[in-house]
Amino acid sequence: MNQKIAVITRNISGITGYDVLIRGTGASVQDYLDTLNTAISALPLQRTRRRARHCRACDRCCAERAPLTAIDCLILKNAVGEDSLESFINRYTTVSVKGPVVDITLKQDDEGRCIFLNHKKKTCRFYEARPFVCQTFICSPATRRALELREEVVNKGEDELVRLWFKTDMVVHQAYNPGPNPADWPPTPFTNKSCYSSILLKAVLSPNLWQKLTRPEQK
């Protein structure tokens, strides 16, 4: 049992969802991932999508946008056997640039599904290496602060990926008046990190959200 993070069931609009409580300043992003993954399997969380009683062999979320963090790409790069981060970005992601905004997501196949989806088994071909956004998604309601935690980690992680993208040939798959400026992507808590266990949540989250998550939610 992880003593640094707790995932607690909550009644949200009549449905059993969850909340997150951080119990220690040393809690890492990996601690959060481990605890939430366990909770998704062990807790009686109710799915809000019809016919989705559990996650196994349900591929409905595999058709959704999947933003990537820098660490996601490093892990997946090794899983698929790519030599470099640049080659992984070129082959397995979609880089969209709209004005000054850069968005890097998992590539989708011709059917609009994640390219790593095994259509027959309805499971991920690289399940153990699946991205942060995939590991932390469940079609079950969550408290606002739990959703904000997930969002802030994803945003900081993708910011770092974009920062690294500027150091490559900067392939762009979709462009709409592109004009990104590398100065808009300074170093983040993900900088020079290669795994989620080395990134502390306190360094990633805004002070206001950190304060909320370290106190039990008021019912």
Centre a 10 Å sphere on the Cβ of residue 54 and count the other Cβ atoms it contains.
11
Give the Å distances, CA to CA, from 152 to 12, 90, 117, 156: 22, 25, 26, 6
Model's pTM, two decimal places? Answer: 0.93
Q: What is the mean pLDDT of residues 38-67?
A: 81
Is the per-residue pLDDT at 57 higher than 80? no
Residue type at position 145: R
Q: What is the mean pLDDT of residues 116-133?
A: 92
Q: What is the mean pLDDT of residues 165-191?
A: 96
Q: What is the mean pLDDT of residues 49-55?
A: 65
Q: What is the mean pLDDT of residues 12-27?
A: 94
Q: What is the pLDDT of residue 2?
A: 67
Is the per-residue pLDDT at 218 higher than 80? no
Q: What is the pLDDT of residue 216?
A: 87
What confidence tens digit (pLDDT) does each residue in 100-117 have?
999 999 999 999 999 999
Q: What is the pLDDT of residue 139?
A: 86
